[in-house]
Amino acid sequence: MKNILPLYILLLLTTLSFAQNKVVVPVSQNESPLIITVKSMEDRSPIHGLRIRLSNLNAIENKWQFVDEQITDKVGKISKWDANNINGIIELKIYTADYFRQRNIESIFPYLIFRIYKEKLKSKHLTLHISPNSCKIQEDQEVKK
């Protein structure tokens, strides 16, 4: 019986150390961030200063939960969204009304909403092309730095 006790303690410590390692290693090291680039549909120039909200569908409650809201930088990008803890369907809400109003442009869109299955994305880089009367979203296969 005394010979089994040290073996049991060793087994217990090994199990605890494995469990601890799984908890300590953050998920964000395994997956790249979600990158959004916004361009003008007319001349493909970057659109900066555009507010975009990221939400996630809570499948249990069937409600959208706010994750983060950011503004595109001078090259039309949001590149710091850590979407690793998000699963299922994500929603991007692009607030276009203020952007077009500041430029004295009439638009039919007060905002745009795109809903995307996160798990079906081959890459984590999406490009939005917008104009006052049209929009398009595409998944980029390679992230251009």
Q: State the number of CA atoms in the 13 A half-sphere of 113 facing the CB.
A: 7
Q: State phi, psi for 119 to the nearest 5 degrees.
A: -65, -20
CA proximity to 130, closest of 54, 38, 52 = 38
CATH of domain 29-140: 2.60.40.180
Q: State the number of CA atoms in the 13 A half-sphere of 134 facing the CB.
A: 6
Q: State phi, psi for 100 to the nearest 5 degrees.
A: -70, -35
Q: pTM for the whole thing? A: 0.71
Start-end of H helices in 61-133: 96-102
Q: Kindly report, residue by residue over 54-104, the tens digit of the pLDDT.
A: 999 998 999 999 999 999 999 999 987 876 777 889 999 999 998 899 889
